[in-house]
Each structure stands twice: as structure tokens, then as C-alpha cells.
Structure 1
Amino acid sequence: MQNEKQTVARNSMIASGLLALGKFIAGIFTGSIGLISEGIHSFTDFIATSITWLAVRVSDKPADDDHHFGHGKVENLAALFEVLLLLCAASWIFYQAVNSLLGESHQIVAAPIVIAVLLVSIVVDFFRVKALNRVAKATDSAALEADALHFFSDMLSSGVVLLGMVFVLFGFDRADALAALVVACFILSAALKLGKRSFDSLIDTAPSGTREDVVGLLQDFPAILSTENIRLRSGGAKLFIEVSVGVCRTLPLERINTLKQSITTKLEQHFGNSEVRVIAIPQTRSDEDMATRIRILAANHGATVQNLALQQLADRMAVGMDLVVPANATVEQAHDIACELEDVLRQALGDNTEIETHLEPQAANWLSSQDVATGELSQIQQALTVSAENCGLVQDIHDIRARETSQGVIVNFHCRVLPALSICAAHQAVDAIERQLRMQFPAVSRVVGHVEPL
């Protein structure tokens, strides 16, 4: 597609040069001010399309170490140069046409030749505008779209001059100068439109209506709590989009990254040649409960809390929790960790908040282990079965595993309870069995019981 951009720009440049040469020769030969004006206009077209061709070649270069956003604005600089040429051409044509209108009538010679040249110019401009518009739409190229608009105005102005020539054939000598004035107006109008668009791009003016489109697309993502900021800028044919969205602060990083990628993909598919950057800002949900808030505050401080117990008193809140600390920490070190976390929580929840912390040692993630002897495993199995029978709620003790580690024997077992039993009652029953087992086997340091429905 980049090659097609350069090809259509090159062909347009060649056509402008040939048209300018033909109009100059015919205008000088016939003495037509309108046709000479069109020749000057076509010469400025040739210069402008040459610059456009060079600009398209440069703008297609990828981003590098010195141009992080690519080279797209070269197209806009080229368009501004085109504007200057158009303004100069319009001024000169206007000046010559006014002098012709106020002075003596300028005689026109061989008007049929002039008409033939103008007809050729209109036909060439028609196919050139069609090709430029097609490629500009496919590549979203500002420079080629500007060229298409430019040559569409050429086609209209040539038509006006042609109309002036027809009037000259019928004896209206001033019609040629009047046609030149109309040409100047067309050139001025095209220059102002092109200049505004190019200047807006250079000063990073957001494309009209694009922000509303982005907001509408973001509404398809329920995980977005709010849209904090949207920044848009154009660089040649590429649209740069930066959106900052609020997301729940409890979302895992993996889900946030997936959300950002989904937003990026949707925006890039909708806007075609675009580069999207998504910034996720963690926010507090309006329905966030106190337990979640405490856990987040602890996690942000690098701590893990478990078994939260919250009490709302008349004038204050009481918090009880298990704080996991490294198993190799001393009592003094663990106490300092707890005090730091309690200070953080009081700053967020209020100085009068009661906080009671139970220190829970964190076992190593990986322990060297081996299965206990068969006889000891049988004893553990029998003890668990008896405890379950005495409990009355727990049945079918199975999948029992007991392994020796550097931190003692770790026992795992599965059991079944009635499906309708509350999880609190099931947890209490299993805890009772675990406590009895540790009493009977002092070497057991941890018991993990997994509950299943009957």
C-alpha cells in the first residue's frame, strides 16, 4: 500500500508538469489571461505534487530512535508549503484579472485551441482526483487527500475558464478576466481548507468527532469504571490515541493486561491506521467492603492478612486478623512488622481503630519431604476415622497422606459431609478432628482436611 501511495503521487506530479507546460504554450500562443493563469496554477501544482511525492516517501518511513512517533507530520509540512504556493498563485491571478478588467480589453486568439486544452485538463484532473481519493481513503493519507481536494478545485476552475472562453467566442471579451477571478477564488478556498487541516494536525488538534467515537467504544467494556482522559493527535496518515481508564484496584495484573489489550485491539480495528496506548488507573469501587479495603492496604504494604474479624462499636471499629510473617523472623522483627501495618491501617481507618494482630508464621514454599512409615500412616488413619465417628458430621475419611518434613509431619486427608451442611459447621467439625490428631501425634505440625459433599 505504501508503494501505491508513492506511485499515485508520482503519476500526479508527472501529470501536473505536462498540464502546466501545455497550458503555458497554449496561453502564450492565444493570449488568454485565464489560460495563462491556469498554466501558472498547474505549475504550482507540479511543485506541490513534487513535494507531496517526496513527503509521502519520507512519511512512510517507520519510527526510529530520533522520531518516536514516526515521520507522518512531514505530510502536513508539505501541505502547508502547498498552501503558500496556492496563496501566491491566487494573489497573482487576482492582480492580473483586476488589471485586465480595469484596463483595456485583452484580445483572445484561437479560442478553439484554448477550449481543447481546457477539456484535456478537465479529463486528466478527473481521473487524477479519482485515483488520489481512492488511495487516500485506503491509506488515510492526509497529503494525498489534500492533493485530491486541490485537483478537484483545479477541475472546477478549468471548467470556469472554459465557460469564459465560450463567452469570448460570442464577443464578451471581459469574460476571460472574470473567469480568472473565479479561478483565484477557487484556489483561495482550497488553500484555506488545506491550510486549516494541516495546521490543526501540526498543533495536535484532536480530529473532530473522534473523541465521541472512542467514548462510545469504551462503553463496551464493563470492567472500565470511568474514562479519566482521552488524548488524540494525528501524524500524517496515522492517528495516535491515548486513553486513561479507571479499573477496580482489586483486579489481578493479568486481567488488567488482558483488558488493555482488548481495548487496544478494538480501537485499532475501528480506526484503521492508528497507534493506541491504554493506561489503567486503579480506583476504589463504590461498593468495596471494609474487609477488601484492609486486605488491599496490607498488600500494598507487602503484608498478607487472613481470618479478618470486624466489629462495629458505638464510636469506633475493631479489627482482628492473622498477619503472616516469615517463619524465620524473631519475635521482635515480627512485632515491628505488625506495628508498621497497624499504623498504616489506623492512618486509613482512623486513629481510634482497635487493631489486634495474631502473628502467623509463614512456612517455606518448598519443603523436602518423604512418606512416613506404613505403620505410622495406619495409626494416623485409625485416629482420623475414630475422630470422625465421634464428631458425627464427618464421614468417609479417605486419600490420607502423611509426610515428614523439616517442619514436622504434614497430614492431608479428604472427607465427606452432608451437602446441605453449612460450610461454617463443616469447617468447625474438620478443625476439631485436626486438633485431636495433633494432640495424639505431637510430631504433626499441620493437618489439611479437604471437605467434599456426600
Structure 2
Amino acid sequence: MQDGDARSKTAVKVTTNGMVFNIFLTIFKFIAGFSGNSAAMIADAVHSFSDFITDIVLILGLRAAGKPADHNHHYGHGKIETLCAAFVGIVLFIIGLEILQSGLGKILFVAGGGNLEQPGAVAFIAAVVSILTKEALYRYTLSAGRSIKSDAMIANAWHHRSDAFSSVGTMIGIGGAMILGGRWVILDPVAAVIMSYFIFKVAFEISYTNINELTEAAPDIDIVKEISHIIVSTEGVRDFHKLKTRKIGSNIATDVHIQVDKDLSLIEAHDICTEVENRLRAKFGMDSILYIHCEPDM
């Protein structure tokens, strides 16, 4: 994994590239939505605009999160990254709610005897372009996010993927309305309602995970088990207890009491603690935050 400064620069670069694409997609979709009379495409454009806004917030947040520890932030600024990821989840939920409300409103309008204009080919083309672009951005951002272990970037990647999902629904709705026409124009807002489900699903997963981290929840049980295995399998460690773990940004923080032979010298006991630290850092990164208390095994 890269050091903090290089990691922050990578995150900002990737997010900035995504933001540039989102600007052009937003403009393109709004033009296509209004000129093509497509409610679903306009909803898609709003979603792309939300991507642009969250990109700005993420760039500012990732820069702040990359700062080293200081006299006011002894554990660094990693929680800012977690806060940004939670923000993305909340924004996604709000966007999903707005799209659901708009789609249901138009469906009720048609059910009450109203008529919606049939969407044009330009809206269909915009949906296809959006799917290809956002799927590419998803893969690009996800790959970078995983390589630097950034929850905020991974959340933003899913923001891109949710836009691709929504565009698939939009494409189906617009295509159906164009081919079938007449009362089947209702497929357009129906597609908007369907895409809101995917957005809600991703929003919940992102928000739940990162709000948990903000409230000091322990990492996944698999990570806790791996930490436990590394500790207990270290030569000289007889047992351990009071294991506490949490995430601070991309870093794992671990607090544990280990038990060693009571007849060991202070230097020998210290060497065992150092070996535990080295093994944990080798697995979870050199920036891992570790507090290891050594006790005699009575």
C-alpha cells in the first residue's frame, strides 16, 4: 500500500478524472432528456450532477484525510475519509428518494388520464453512452480504491455503478416507450422508479458500513479472526485477551494484551511485542495503529 501522501494524491487524481467525465455527462443528459422528452433521462442527469457534487466533496475530504497526525489529531485524519464515504451514501439515498417521488408522480398522472410525451431517440442514445461511460468509471475508480484501500473511493465507485444501473433502466424504459408508443410511454417513469431501488440498495450498504466505522464498530469478523491468528501464532505469545479493533480511515487500529513466559527478561518480552507489531504491520500496512500490552503468564 502507498504512503499517506502518495495515497492521497492517487485518490484525488482518480476522483478528479471522474469529476470531469461527470460534468460532460450531466450536460449531455440534461440536453438529451429535455430535447428527447424523457423523464427518466432527466432523472439520470440529476443523478450525474449528484456525482459531480460528491466528487468535489470527496476531493476536499481525501486531501484532508491524507494529512499526517498533528498535535490536535493524534491518530491522524483518517476519519474524514470515512465521513466522506458516509456522505456519499446519504447523498445516494436522497437522490433515490427524489427519483422515486418523481417517477411515482408521473405514473399516477398517467393513471389519472394524463398523457406523457413520447421520448425521442436522442434520450435513448444518451442512456447507452451513460452506461458505457459510468461502467468504465466504476471499474477505474474501484480498482484504484482497492489498491490504496480507500473506503471513500470504493463508495464513489459504487456511485458510478449506481448511475450505470439507473441508465440501464432508463434505456429499457425509453426504448419500450419509443417502440410501443401510446400508453406505453409510462415505461419511462416506471424505469425511473425501478432504478431508485438500486440506488437505495447501494446507499444503505455504503451508509451502514461507514456510519458503523464512525461509531467505532469493530471491523469484519474475518479481519478480527486474522488479527487473533497472527497474535497467537507469534513465537513466545502464550495467550492474549482484551483485543479491541477499529478502523481509522484505511488503517486498522488494534489494542491487545498479550501474555508471555513470566521468567522472560524485559528485553525478551519487548522483542515478542515487536514481533507481533511487525507481523500485523506486514499484513495490514505500515500505518497500522498498534497498542500491545505485555503481561506475565501466571
1:42, CA displacement in angstroms? 0.9
Q: Does 1:120 align with 2:129?
A: yes
**Residues 1:106 and 2:116 aligned together:** yes
Residues in 1 aligned to 2:115 and 2:189: alpha-carbon distance in whole angstroms: 9
Counterpart CA distance in 1 for 2:20 and 2:248 is 27
SS at match of 1:84: helix
Structure 1: state its 5+ residue gaps: 285-454
Q: Which residue of 1 aligns with 2:277?
A: 264
Which residue is 2:194 aligned to?
182
- Pick from 93, 96, 99 the counterpart of residue 102 of structure 2: 96
The answer to which structure has the higher strand fraction is 1
1:332 matched residue in structure 2: none
Amino acid at match of 2:290: V
1:126 deviates by: 1.7
Give the letter for the 2:206 counterpart.
L
* Structure-2 separation of matches of 1:84 and 1:232: 26
Q: Name the CA distance, whole Å, in 1 between partners of 2:10 and 2:90.
A: 27
* Cα displacement (A) at 1:122: 1.4
State the TM-score, normalized to the length of structure 2.
0.91
Q: Distance in 2 between matches of 1:15 and 1:109?
A: 24
Q: Aligned partners of 1:221, 1:238: CA distance in 2, in Å?
A: 21
Instruction: State yes or no: 1:164 paired with 2:173.
Output: yes
The answer for the alignment partner of 1:204 in structure 2 is 216
Count of aligned positions: 283
How big is the shift at 1:150? 1.6
Shift of 1:151: 1.2
- Report the Cα distance in structure 1 between the residues aligned to 2:228 and 2:62, rounded to whole angstroms: 31
Amino acid in structure 2 at the alignment position of 1:262:
E
Q: Does the CA contact (< 8 Å) of 1:228 and 1:244 recur in 2? A: yes
Q: TM-score, normalised by structure 1?
A: 0.60
In the TM superposition, residue 143 of structure 1 has moved relative to its aligned partner by: 0.3
Amino acid at match of 2:20: I
What residue is the counterpart of 1:154 in the other structure? 163
Q: State the distance in 2 between where 1:216 and 1:261 align.
A: 16
- Runs of 4+ that moved beyond 6 A: none
Sequence identity percentage? 24
More helix by share: 2
1:428 corresponding residue in structure 2: none
Check the 8 A contact 1:94/1:184 in 2, yes or no: yes
d(CA) in 1 for partners of 2:197, 2:146? 27
Residues 162-207 of structure 1: CA distance to partner in whole angstroms, max 9, x if unpaired?
Answer: 1111111222211111100011111111111110011011011111
RMSD: 1.4
Deviation sequence 1:51-75 (CA, Å, 0-9, x none): 1111111111111110011111111
Give yes or no for contact 2:65–2:80 (8 Å, CA) kept in 1.
yes
| Residue 41 in structure 1 maps to residue 47 in structure 2 | yes
Q: Is the 8 A contact 2:151 2:250 kept in 1?
A: yes
Which residue does 1:274 correspond to in 2?
288
1:243 paired to 2:252: no
Return the structure number with greater relative CO, CA threshold 8 A, min gap 6: 2
Shift of 1:17: 2.0
Which stretch has the larger CA shift, 205-214 or 11-20? Answer: 11-20
CA 90–225 in structure 1, closer or farther in 2 if over 3 Å, else same: same
Which residue number corresponds to residue 93 of structure 2? 87
Contact residue 88 and residue 159 of structure 2 kept, 8 A: no
Unaligned runs of 5+ in 2: 1-5
